[in-house]
Amino acid sequence: MAEEIEALRGVPLFSGMSDKDLRKVVGIAKVVVHSPGQLVVGEDNTAVGFHLILEGSADATVAGERVGTIEAGDYFGEISLIDGKPRSATVTATTDLKTLVVPSFGFNHMLDQHPEMMRTLLVELCARLRKVEAARG
């Protein structure tokens, strides 16, 4: 559990959470192993959760074109975790891939049970919005 907590702490969305709250997140998460070539998530598919890569690497593609490689410490689906909107990219394992998956349903249920955790998430989302606004000039 300690490894997963430290990995989540590296994700901006979760970085402001206490150890107690991170333990709650890890408590609803599960580790999933993907083989090389295995589809992790598909573009335009309904989002079912957040993925944090613990080991290995994967390719991200949009409309069939490779847009990047994601590796240990990288993550995807943090916005879909909250809003449940479809995926904007396809992610396919290129090596043995181990991910920590936080399911949307469990996450939303956890927030319903512990609404104080929402403040941390809102602060991070506001910081992201301000960053985008500042970049616009």
In a domain, 137, yes or no: no
pLDDT at residue 40 in the model: 94
Q: Model confidence over 84-133: pLDDT tens digits?
A: 888 889 999 999 999 999 999 999 999 999 998 988 888 888 888 898 88
In a domain, 25, yes or no: yes
Three-state SS letters, the chain: CHHHHHHHHCCHHHHCCCHHHHHHHHHHCEEEEECCCCEEECCCCCCCEEEEEEECEEEEEECCEEEEEEECCCEECHHHHHHCCCCCCEEEECCCEEEEEEEHHHHHHHHHHCCCHHHHHHHHHHHHHHHHHHHHC
In a domain, 61, yes or no: yes
In a domain, 136, yes or no: no
CATH number, residue 34: 2.60.120.10
Q: Model confidence over 53-90: pLDDT tens digits?
A: 999 999 999 999 999 999 999 998 887 888 888 888 99
In a domain, 28, yes or no: yes
Q: Give the chain's domain count.
A: 1
Domain that holds residue 108: 2-130
